[in-house]
Amino acid sequence: MSTPFGRLLDRIAELMARPATAAIERHVLDAARITPGEVVLVVGDGPDLGRHADSAEHTGQDDESADVVLSFGDVASWHDRAAGFAELHRVLRPGGRLVLSAREDRLPVSRHELAAEAAEAGFTDLQTWLWEPPGPAAPLTAQIRALRP
């Protein structure tokens, strides 16, 4: 049961996280190297950049219809990660880029294991790193970038 003090703490945490969230979005966009005219698919919550899908496993997109897929903090909610990576591989055009960003402490497995799962789905040129957004309450975030050959 929520108390007034607990709600206040939740609100303070939400307000403190806003600058970090904006910084994370900018960092992911930089990592994705999006250029004008590219079709971007955002999975989960994230900036409004064009197409949006609530689920990585079922995007509702056509084959090879996106140049870039961005996933902001939702990989922990994927019910079937193998199906999610396979679906994102399917919707990306050859040469397309996948960028995943999520709080490291909320990953279902290590970022290296996620990269291995992406490789099993056919992604190549995998890179993974940790990034510390600015701000006092900023969570350490795991980043994964991959290409669809």
Please check whether residue 51 is in contact with residue 40, taking contact to mean a CB–CB distance below 8 angstroms: yes
Q: Of 93, 41, 102, nearest to 114 (Cα)?
A: 102
Task: Specify the pTM.
Answer: 0.80
Residue 123 pLDDT more than 50? yes
Task: Return mean pLDDT, the chain.
Answer: 84
pLDDT at 81: 96
**CA distances (Å), 26 to each of 29, 58, 73, 93, in order?**
5, 26, 14, 23
Residue 12 pLDDT more than 80? no
Least confident among 47-51, 52-56, 117-121: 47-51
For residues 90-101, give the mean pLDDT. 96
- Residue range 4-147 forms a domain whose CATH class is alpha beta
Residue 33, phi-psi category: left (phi > 0), alpha (psi -120 to 50), beta (remainder): left
pLDDT at 11: 55
Residue 128 pLDDT more than 80? yes
Residue 10 pLDDT more than 90? no
pLDDT at 21: 55
Provide the residue ranges of all domains of the chain, joining segments of one domain with +: 4-147
Least confident among 41-45, 103-107, 109-113: 41-45
